[in-house]
Amino acid sequence: MVEYIGVSDVSRFVTSLGLGPFLERLAAMMEADYRRWDEFEKSARVASHSAVGVIELMPTSDAQFYAFKYVNGHPKNTARGLLTVTAFGLLADVVTGYPLLLSELTITTALRTAAMSALAARWLARPDSRSMALIGNGSQSEFQAVAFHRLVGIRTLRLYDIDPLATAKLVHNLQAMPDLNDLEIVRCASAAHACQGADIVTTITADKKNGVILTPPMIRPGMHLNAVGGDCPGKTELHVDVLGMPNLETFVEFAPQTRAEGEIQQMPPDFPVTQFADVVRSAEPLQRRPETITLFDSVGFALEDYSALRFLYALVQEQRVGRHTIDLIPTLLDPKDLYGGTIGASRSRLRRAS
């Protein structure tokens, strides 16, 4: 039998641990896996694009586990009352090839994206960063806000979305969280207004287009840019001139994938970037000058989903109450008799019953 984790199970895990501690543990697991970068098979995701969205498969493996995620991105879905992003994933045993866990990854993708954003900021942003602009207040914004508050120490959140109802939703949800009592929330009239006084700027918009959310005049020396929304060909959030700014250093998850899907798709193939794994594995800490602008050009990478599935599998073992299994793989007395142990056995039971 294969372990199964549904939406209600992930919600139960998060409620039991607390959203902040859950994100912190997940970030720690991702950091540990990024330190093992060379142990993983790595490839860009396999994407099927249409005029209205994209469906992707994201695989990776090491010597112990194989993992993949199925995920879609359809920005127009909300007009139909549907989610923009849905996902599920599987964790398998490399030695036997048997699946161990089938899990929802819609909520978990939002959790791992936020955890990865905050983890990168802990390494790349100025240690004294306390104010963040959050531009795009949709379905992932609460997770980003909590992750940066918990892992980075953000105490002022400057919000902007072209849809004021999205901002109102975010404010309502954040104010209902008791752990965020010390978080100052500022509603802003524009993206430029949100950036004023911000140490970190997170862009996480949904439209599948070459957007211009950030322009050079909005950015000041010492900022950290967490560009999350641009994550497929033809979908960006930063004006191309931002990428050419002096003192900008760009960091990515997996360079071959980001060059096709991230903000740097706007730049020549030899545009200089540093992979995040090289930062966390370096013997020397990152030397960040006060005037340096750091950009984490995040498109999401399969290693993060591997970490998330491994984390969920560990939680299943820890919290044995309410576990679910599904009969995805046959259990046979004779592994060479697939027919007799499945269809043949069912036919025999039917004959005996009649």
Contacts of 12 (CB under 8 A, 6+ apart): 322
Q: Which helix (H) or strand (E) holds 100?
A: strand 99-104
Residues 274, 282: Cα–Cα separation, whole Å: 12
Size (the chain), residues: 354
Cα 206 versus chain centre, distance? 14
Residues 273 and 264 sit within 8 Å (Cβ to Cβ): yes
Describe the strand order of the beta sheet including 224-227 as a list of residue ranges.
Answer: 184-187, 156-160, 131-135, 200-203, 224-227, 293-297, 248-252, 274-275
Give residue for tokens 């991702």.
30
- Cα–Cα separations (whole angstroms), residue 353 to 178, 253, 340, 344: 58, 58, 18, 14
CA distance 183 to 157: 7
33 is known as an active-site residue: no
Catalytic residue among 9, 231, 297, 305: 231
- Which residues contact residue 208 at a Cβ distance below 8 angstroms, ignoring those fewer than 6 apart? 53, 54, 73, 75, 232, 234, 235
Residue 122 and residue 98 in contact, taking contact as beta carbons nearer than 8 Å: no
For residues 226 and 133, give the distance between their C-alpha atoms in angstroms, rounded to a whole number: 10
Strand ranges inside 125-228, DSSP E: 131-135, 156-160, 184-187, 200-203, 210-214, 224-227
Residues forming the active site: 231
